[in-house]
Amino acid sequence: AIVIYPNPSARDFNIKSSGDFAEEKVKVSIVNTLGQSIYSSFVTAQNGEINLTINGLNPPKGTYTVLFTTDKAQIAKRVTVN
């Protein structure tokens, strides 16, 4: 399961996943409602888990899509900044 917290967020938030990814490289992207990427990073899942803190972005208020992309799949989750 992928959990994004706090959600809604004032600005910074955490991403945790467990069992969603094998030992593989995962591209984590945050996209606004216009489809523009405001953040992108590659992380490597450790024991199938990702722990990532997103801070310092200071995006405008709104709803964003967090995309998790691997060679095999893409998972989308939403986060609200207020």
Token digits of residue 25: 């490289």
Q: What amino acid is encoded at 46 in this protein? A: Q
Q: What is the pTM of this model?
A: 0.91
Helix (H, G, I), strand (E, B) or coil at 7: coil
Tell whether the model's pLDDT for residue 23 goes beyond 80.
no
Residue 9 phi, psi (nearest 5): -120, 150
Alpha carbons 79 and 71: distance in angstroms, whole number: 24
Alpha carbons 20 and 1: distance in angstroms, whole number: 6
Give tens-digit pLDDT for 31-41.
999 999 999 99
- At 36 the pLDDT is 96
Alpha carbons 16 and 61: distance in angstroms, whole number: 22
Q: What amino acid is encoded at 12 in this protein? A: D
- At 75 the pLDDT is 94
